[in-house]
Amino acid sequence: MRQRGLPIAQSSIRKIIKDAGYRYRKARKVLTSTDPNYEEKLKEITRTLQSLGPKEKFFSIDEYGPFAIRIKGGRSLVPMGHPRTIPQRQRSKGTLIITAALELSTNQITHFYSSAKNTAEMLKMLHRLVDQYADQECMYLSWDAASWHASKAFYASVREINNAKGKGPQVRLVPLPSCAQFLNVIESVFSGMARAIIHNSNFSSPEAAREMIDKYFATRNEEFSKHPKRAGQKIWGDERVPSEFSASHNCKDPKYR
């Protein structure tokens, strides 16, 4: 423009670009999975949920942790001139691992504390759910592709339960696609629990942390038992997304893992 004798201001260039329909936008990460059978597995989960009967339950299962019991940082409301600080180096007071299952149709959490992430803990959760929901006809279990979620011992235990006809619900496995933890609905509940309980905490011991976590889940279960509805940001410490399966949801919150 200058070479042609038509000088133009920067503001005019900005207006020309804007009028042409262009905007500056930051690149957005897209949720992806490397599983070659991603679409098929996704359709299977969706189909199962859509056809869930009155005597059937669908569980989203995962572990939270291990996380150390120590002073946790984060955003907090403080008076002017009194910045909040936490020690960079701290001695851990202990660690916790939460193994939990979220029943999607009733929004009920079943949880316990584990010493490790392994097949034994998954078997413990399996039998606990079978006992707790003994009046149901079928239970669907969904989780990510961790090795201990699909061990030979676990499959053998599922076959044993299914062969014991008339003694409890049938168990069906509906695994998530590999590398698709963002689809695991219970991750959203974990993020809400972490924001409400672990964020900005300073528990004196693992037992104190367990007491607060137990109270959180018990209160949540009671509320959804009395008033069935989807979870969301207005309750339970800002759960990341509503507690329902959706391919567009990113349930996993990296800030609180």
pLDDT in tens, the chain (257 residues): 778 888 888 898 899 999 999 998 888 776 667 777 777 888 888 888 888 888 999 999 999 989 999 998 877 888 888 888 888 888 999 999 999 999 988 889 999 999 999 999 999 999 999 999 999 999 999 888 777 777 888 899 999 999 987 778 999 988 887 776 767 888 888 988 988 899 889 999 999 999 999 999 999 999 888 887 755 544 444 566 655 566 556 656 655 55
What does the pLDDT read at residue 88? 86
What does the pLDDT read at residue 236? 46
What does the pLDDT read at residue 231? 52
pTM reported for the whole predicted model: 0.77
Strand partners, 29: none
CA 192, 195, 196, 202 dihedral sign is positive
What does the pLDDT read at residue 233? 45
Residue where the block lists tokens 């999607």: 104
What does the pLDDT read at residue 250? 60
Cis peptide preceding 177, ω within 30 of 0: no
Listed in sequence order, the residues at least 6 apart from 84 whose beta carbon sits closer than 8 Å to its beta carbon are 73, 76, 78
Say how far residue 232 (Cα) sits from the centre of its chain.
Answer: 13
What does the pLDDT read at residue 204? 93
Give the three-state DSSP class for 89.
coil
Instruction: Tell me the fold of 38-73+90-256.
Output: Nucleotidyltransferase; domain 5 (3.30.420)
Cβ proximity of 187 and 240 under 8 Å:
yes
Residue where the block lists tokens 């202990």: 94
